Amino acid sequence: VTRVADQPSAFDVLVAQAAERLERSAFDFLDGGATDEITLDANRRAFERWCLLPRTCVDVSTVDVSVELRHARLDVPYFVAPSGAHRLFHPDAEFASAAAAKSSGAVYVTSTAASVSMEELAAVAPDERWYQLYCFRDRGVVADLVRRAEHSGYRALVVTVDAPVLGRRLRDVRNNFSVGPEIRWANLEPYGAADLGGPTDGSVVARYFADQIDPSITWDDIEQLVASTHLPVYVKGVLHPGDARRAVSAGVQGVYVSNHGGRQLDRVPATLDALGDIVEAVGDELDVLVDGGVRCAADVVIALARGADAVGLGRLVIYALAAGGQASMTAVLDELRDDLIHTLRLLGVPRLRSLDRSSLVPARPTES
Amino acid sequence: VTRVADQPSAFDVLVAQAAERLERSAFDFLDGGATDEITLDANRRAFERWCLLPRTCVDVSTVDVSVELRHARLDVPYFVAPSGAHRLFHPDAEFASAAAAKSSGAVYVTSTAASVSMEELAAVAPDERWYQLYCFRDRGVVADLVRRAEHSGYRALVVTVDAPVLGRRLRDVRNNFSVGPEIRWANLEPYGAADLGGPTDGSVVARYFADQIDPSITWDDIEQLVASTHLPVYVKGVLHPGDARRAVSAGVQGVYVSNHGGRQLDRVPATLDALGDIVEAVGDELDVLVDGGVRCAADVVIALARGADAVGLGRLVIYALAAGGQASMTAVLDELRDDLIHTLRLLGVPRLRSLDRSSLVPARPTES
Amino acid sequence: VTRVADQPSAFDVLVAQAAERLERSAFDFLDGGATDEITLDANRRAFERWCLLPRTCVDVSTVDVSVELRHARLDVPYFVAPSGAHRLFHPDAEFASAAAAKSSGAVYVTSTAASVSMEELAAVAPDERWYQLYCFRDRGVVADLVRRAEHSGYRALVVTVDAPVLGRRLRDVRNNFSVGPEIRWANLEPYGAADLGGPTDGSVVARYFADQIDPSITWDDIEQLVASTHLPVYVKGVLHPGDARRAVSAGVQGVYVSNHGGRQLDRVPATLDALGDIVEAVGDELDVLVDGGVRCAADVVIALARGADAVGLGRLVIYALAAGGQASMTAVLDELRDDLIHTLRLLGVPRLRSLDRSSLVPARPTES
Amino acid sequence: VTRVADQPSAFDVLVAQAAERLERSAFDFLDGGATDEITLDANRRAFERWCLLPRTCVDVSTVDVSVELRHARLDVPYFVAPSGAHRLFHPDAEFASAAAAKSSGAVYVTSTAASVSMEELAAVAPDERWYQLYCFRDRGVVADLVRRAEHSGYRALVVTVDAPVLGRRLRDVRNNFSVGPEIRWANLEPYGAADLGGPTDGSVVARYFADQIDPSITWDDIEQLVASTHLPVYVKGVLHPGDARRAVSAGVQGVYVSNHGGRQLDRVPATLDALGDIVEAVGDELDVLVDGGVRCAADVVIALARGADAVGLGRLVIYALAAGGQASMTAVLDELRDDLIHTLRLLGVPRLRSLDRSSLVPARPTES
């Protein structure tokens, strides 16, 4: 007897397609995490520890899946999380991923390490587009990136703080991961730092990172960033409730609970596990975003019920990009939206903004 | 050394026989659950987290396995749970399953989606027979079904509330599940909605369901149903204690804790896990029924000890129907009764109605 | 790299030897448990949930492993638990097992279902020998067995109360378990009930049991038994603390926590898990014995540290009997004693009677 | 798709190299533990139950990994734990391991059972070198060893108290573990007890141990040892908080939480699990050292965050010694230091001495 659990899921098929179409080193760069990939795995398993607890006899003939952030209403509660160098995964690069986000109503966050510049991307990206920022040693670069994001219509800044140094991504080290001259960090071309090509010993990303990124930034730098722009700022990579409290006084609009997809420090908590304490600490004062391990609508619902205001999609959509470009990624995003509506119907929650912890129970209650 | 755990259990043999005799798509329709079948699996595993705690030196020379509901005394504490289209599983269809229930003393619940009409079935079904109702968009259909159930001697109504839309049963979708013209929803023939045949894209049941079933019903509809009939009403598909409380004020006779055999929303709690809070919330005021994952007498005992008043049998008896028609199903039900008496003797509980939580302990206590 | 865990342990070797030398149906009768053998397995796993917590800098040059019961001092803290029909396992039958117990200093408990009569056995058994009693429908048989035990020098009675009917031992049912004419229940010959031979449908033991054993005994019967003899009485098969309390008022000397080696009601707690609450309930007033799953000295230490006064050995020594008769069983018992002394040295507990719960911690503490 | 978890880690490769280069019996002596090797395994798994909880926006441009003991500042927070007879693993013996420790800045602890005498070793060992002591039956030997350690520049004594008798190392027994004449216990040559060669029945180490080591030592002996030397004394092998309290009054400088690498009493707690209660009991008054299962920088960080003052490295560095002598061991130690600095950067803890429990969370929180 073959059970459904014995068959590859739609997600498994997507990963297999991506694996087939990509060079091994590019696939590993996408698929891999830091060190023993324990956190990478934990991000997924954390969702398995929660059950959905449905209400019945609720009119679910129409379902509203929009959510509200402090600066914007989102049509869907998820966004394309920032990730670098989409040209590694598909020749259409960020043009494809941004267009897919736009057609499906999702926010798009472009990375400092994008292979398409933020100005080029503005034309195809959704109106609600955000810019992800690394803190370069050269603060002039940072200031210029912020100014350019403002000018090209980005509506929020996402500053990454969990990467003072790069994580130990053993697959990249083993693969001597490097990229051809066609892969450039387009946002950085004005500063002469865009070229990743040429031979390398170990990971080219790790080498570049050590050269350019500042490991000495503090909350004072965050405060100065907030003061330097009219854009709302999200601090990405927060796992500790104490940091979330500090973020409040730094004046940011939100914290973004992330472990960088398990790619920075291994053996940190799953983001879903870290989320609860952070919502408890700052949920009334800040937006709380989260990413890590989200694969389906039930995961989105669990993260939101635990208190997140919106949920980032990383590998899920990039596997799709690799598997079939804009079309595949659009299909995944549209399917996710259908699945979310269907899930909310069966959950008895027609208005996503009303969702709260009463729709969850631990998966294995201890009873007596 | 071969241990008993290495050998197929009687239940495993039954499933294998069903798998052998049925078309793959029919077997999958019976055997499968929603999405990743996590809840389907959880229903079973929940029973493994409880141990039976026997009393000794009790006179168990005679054992009484009857239980009391608000409207009836049941000879055995279980009933055949409603499931559709038994002709898919055996040519004798509901005639076989209802007769097996009658001969073994169990309540029989026929489905709105039965392949034999409730009137035809009345002749062979037990006196204690109940009718399961879906809420159709056309409320005239609902009213007529209720009137017919009353007239043909059904003694309770079981209204299903966990299916405003159909669950994502991926096996059915993959199989393009459809049925031949010999499978009809006989109860619905008067309303021109009985024919399921013909080509389909995806599951024929899902398509039919979306057309006919009303996703907007509320507790007001339940109250109107209660007011429209002299029959006691059970609300089937309740998992949330808040819904159980609401059911009290709606005037129903009981709540039926079910997740539709893991066929509706995946990743909801196992019914046994949900049962405790619901008994706590309404056990003194309503009958509490439960189904999901019951495979043997010990499971029945655990569910009753957790506070259920009676226990539904779903796949267990339908696999038997598929394996060998009325004879196999009767054998399974008779064996269950023998096993129940034997279990209660060794448990030191000669009167099933006296069973309570003191006969259970968690399977892995945490001690200090 | 081969780790020790990949190699068969001494215990595994013993079981394999027993399996090789016995008829399959005799091995299964010994090795098997009831129904799904969940309790059989749980008895073992319960020990894995405890760690030994040693003390250091204690003078362990001499170690005393004796313990005190209310009526006797035992040289070692374990006894050969009652089990039936040793002739099934070795031609020397109970003569071999009793002699092994005597040479190693352990108490020997002979079964009502022994293949050697208690009178014959008295000559080779240890001075500290006990008689296990079933409650027959014919109370004259019971009274006579008690009188005979008194006259042939047995020093305690162990009355089994967890078997009003026999457990469902599926291996025996599948094997149509029966025995040849050489296997007799020698203690029962005076009552014309000793012959187990001849064809059978299902297990011969189950059939015999249903004929002879009384399922209606109550605590009143226990009180009458206590009043009828000067021997101390142990009630064997208690798992519920409420029964242990009742045993106090029945006037017994002790309760014997047992689930009949997982051979009666399946899915009851592991005896080690049940032990704690029973010691809590009656440990100051009664002796508490326990059996189930003990395989090595560390298991003995854990059971005693949880509050047992002595520990029964069942399958462990019977596998040895089957593997090599008296010599093998003596070797196992001597090795156990050496291992116990060694364990207590490393545990820093030179006097076993001083052992208490401070020498244990849960195997996986939850810390915060 | 091949995941990193499917590939052998650097540690696995090291063990495989050691296995390849060593005689089987020598490898088993190194690799094995007592009895069922449950504690050996538990030492590793205990680390998996903790997550690192990083802080962000901390200046980590420089990282200080030194720690302070009561008598010394250590450049790195780990030390080479005492282990015997390094000549079994590499011809350069302790000369190689001590030189590797020195070049990497780690404390070196030489064993009483070393194959090189403490005087010979002094020339190549680090300035911060300690001497491990067993309590011989002949206290004159003990006194002389202490005097020699003082004279040859050892800065602390580590007295082992978890070995009044040797653990049951089944691999050694099975291998009839013995050594050739080239393996001598060089520290013991003055006392005529250095020769381990010649035929043996079972483990030669076990036989030697039973002859020479005193199983009657008590805390009085520890007090006398403390009084007999100006060197600080660590008591190695403490797992019980009560013993840690007693160690305070005995006047030692510290307790060393160890289960002898799982080689003494099996089924005792993982050292990391025992550490917490001991730090709670004596952490303000004594140094607390710990060893067992440390394989990488994250493990070191977890042990220190749980309250240890320094961490011992056992098998990790000895596998390296076996795999490639001083060069391999130096490489492992240098890599560990780099990894530690990297881990602290990503953890947001630039000064190791500031690390505390706020950097840890349980790996699977139970939330509600």
Closest partner residue to A51 (CB to CB) among B27, B33, B268 is B268
d(CA D110, CA D186): 11
Is the Cα torsion angle B259, B264, B269, B274 positive or negative in sign?
Answer: negative
* Residue for token pair 């520990």: C311
What is the SS3 assignment for A68?
strand
Q: Write out chain B residues lying below 8 Å of C171, CB-based.
A: 4
Identified catalytic residue from D151, D240, D260, D342: D260
Asked if B226 and B252 touch (Cβ cutoff 8 Å), the reply is yes
pLDDT in tens, B216-264: 999 999 999 999 999 999 999 999 999 999 999 999 999 999 999 999 9
Is C240 catalytic? The answer is: no
CA dist list (Å): D181 to C57, D26, D88: 33, 14, 11
Query: Do the bridges between strand A67-68 and strand A73-74 make them parallel or antiparallel, or are there none, so unpaired?
Result: antiparallel
Helix (H) and strand (E) counts in chain D = 13, 12
* pLDDT value for D4: 63
Is the Cα torsion angle A108, A112, A116, A121 positive or negative in sign?
Answer: positive
* pLDDT score of C240 more than 80: yes
* pLDDT value for A1: 59
pLDDT band of residue A368 (cuts 50, 70, 90) is: very low
* pLDDT score of D260 more than 90: yes
Enumerate residues 6+ apart whose C-beta is below 8 A from C137: C212, C213, C214
Chain B, 116-175: which have a CB under 8 Å from a chain A CB? Answer: 161-162, 164-165, 167-168, 170-171
Q: Which two tokens stand for residue C137?
A: 């429908």
Closest partner residue to D268 (CB to CB) among C48, C54, C365 is C54
pLDDT in tens, D345-363: 999 999 999 999 999 999 9
What is the SS3 assignment for C256?
strand
Q: Write out chain C residues lying below 8 Å of D19, CB-based.
A: 1
Q: Write out chain D residues lying below 8 Å of C52, CB-based.
A: 265, 267-268
* pLDDT score of C184 more than 90: no
d(CA A118, CA A150): 10
d(CA D258, CA D261): 7
* pLDDT value for C367: 40
d(CA B196, CA A158): 53
Residue of D nearest to C5 (CA): D36
Q: What is the DSSP string of D215-229?
A: TT--HHHHHHHHHT-
* pTM beyond cutoff 0.90: yes
Q: What is the DSSP string of C38-97?
A: HHHHHHHHHHTTEEE----S---SS-B--EE-SS-EESSSEEE---S-GGGT-TTHHHHH
Enumerate residues 6+ apart whose C-beta is below 8 A from B89: B18, B22, B26, B30, B318, B321, B322
Q: CA of C34 to nearest chain B CA: how many angstroms apart?
A: 9
Q: Write out chain A residues lying below 8 Å of B32, CB-based.
A: 3-4
pLDDT in tens, B92-114: 999 999 999 999 999 999 999 99
* Extended strands (E) in chain C: 50-52, 67-68, 73-74, 78-80, 107-110, 129-133, 156-160, 233-238, 254-257, 287-291, 310-313, 360-362
Q: Nearest CA to D317 among D121, D150, D94, D156?
A: D94
* Residue for token pair 């170990």: A202
Task: Mark whether A and C touch (3+ CB pairs within 8 Å).
Answer: no
DSSP C260: G
Q: Does D362 touch chain A (CB under 8 A)?
A: no
Q: What is the DSSP string of C233-245?
A: EEEEEE--HHHHH
- Helix H segments across chain D? 10-21, 24-31, 38-47, 93-104, 118-122, 139-151, 170-174, 204-212, 219-227, 241-249, 271-282, 297-305, 315-347
* pLDDT value for C192: 77
Q: Which residues of chain B have pLDDT under 50?
A: 366-368
Closest partner residue to B53 (CB to CB) among C19, C36, C269 is C269
DSSP A359: G
Between chains, do D342 and A240 touch, taking CB under 8 Å as contact? Answer: no
Q: How many other C-beta atoms are found inside a 10 Å radius of the C-beta of residue D70?
A: 12
Q: Does A349 touch chain B (CB under 8 A)?
A: no
- Helix H segments across chain A? 10-21, 24-31, 38-47, 93-104, 118-122, 139-151, 170-174, 204-212, 219-227, 241-250, 271-282, 297-305, 315-347
Least confident of A42-56, A166-180, C105-119, C296-310: A166-180
Mutate: best of A265, A275, A277, A319, partner D, most D CBs <10 A: A265
End-to-end alpha carbon distance in chain B: 36
Chain B, 35-64: which have a CB under 8 Å from a chain C CB? Answer: 48, 50-61
- Report the mean per-residue pLDDT for chain C: 94
CA dist list (Å): D149 to D118, D126, D146, D186: 7, 14, 5, 14
Asked if A54 and B240 touch (Cβ cutoff 8 Å), the reply is yes
Enumerate residues 6+ apart whose C-beta is below 8 A from B260: B160, B162, B163, B167, B237
Report the phi/psi class of residue C2: left, alpha or beta, with left for phi > 0 and alpha for psi in -120 to 50: beta
d(CA D306, CA D289): 11
Q: Which two tokens stand for residue D82?
A: 């005492």
* pLDDT score of A366 more than 50: no
* Residue for token pair 């027994």: D173
Q: Nearest CA to A110 among A90, A91, A92, A128?
A: A128
Size of interface B-C (CB pairs under 8 A): 105
pLDDT band of residue D179 (cuts 50, 70, 90) is: confident
pLDDT band of residue D198 (cuts 50, 70, 90) is: low
Least confident of A21-30, A93-102, A174-183, C310-319: A174-183
Exposed (0-12), middle (13-18) or buried (19+): which is D363, by Cβ within 10 Å?
A: middle
Closest partner residue to B267 (CB to CB) among A3, A52, A358 is A52
What is the SS3 assignment for A368?
coil
* pLDDT value for B45: 94
Mutate: best of D1, D6, D53, D57, partner A, most A CBs <10 A: D57
pLDDT band of residue C193 (cuts 50, 70, 90) is: low
Q: Write out chain C residues lying below 8 Å of D22, CB-based.
A: none
Asked if A98 and A77 touch (Cβ cutoff 8 Å), the reply is no
Task: Mark whether D and B touch (3+ CB pairs within 8 Å).
Answer: no
d(CA A200, CA D86): 39
**Cα torsion for B162, B163, B169, B175, to the nearest 10°?**
150
* pLDDT value for D366: 46
Report the phi/psi class of residue D192: left, alpha or beta, with left for phi > 0 and alpha for psi in -120 to 50: left
- Report the mean per-residue pLDDT for chain B: 94
